[in-house]
Amino acid sequence: MKNIFGSKKTWKWRWMSGMGIALLLLLAVATTSFADDVVGSMTVTGGSLTIDAVDNPAFPGVTLNGTSQSVSDSIAIDVQDLRGSGAGWQLEVTSTTFTNGTQTLPTTALSITDVISACDGTTCTDPTNGYLYPLTVPADATAPSAVAFFDAALNTGLGDFTITPTFSLAVPATTYAGTYNSTITLTVANVP
- The pLDDT value given to residue 36: 85
The model's pLDDT over 129-138, given as tens digits with 9 standing for 90+, comes to 999 999 999 9
- In terms of C-beta density within 10 A (0-12 exposed, 13-18 middle, 19 or more buried), how is residue 81 classed? buried
- pLDDT computed for residue 55 by the predictor: 87
- Domains defined along the chain, listed by start: 49-189 (2.60.40)
Q: What is the pLDDT of residue 167?
A: 98
> What is the C-alpha R_g of the chain?
38
Confidence of residue 191 (pLDDT cuts 50, 70, 90): confident
Residue 152: its H or E element: strand 147-152
Q: Which of 77, 72, 52 is nearest to 62 (CA)?
A: 72
**pLDDT score at 41:** 93
Give CA separation, 57 vs 10, 154, 166, in Å.
104, 30, 9
**What does pTM read for this prediction?**
0.78
Per the prediction, the chain carries an average pLDDT of: 89
CA distance 192 to 150: 9
Q: Could you read off the pLDDT of 2-31 as tens digits, one per residue?
A: 555 555 555 454 555 666 666 656 666 656
Mean pLDDT, range 101-112, rounded to an integer: 98
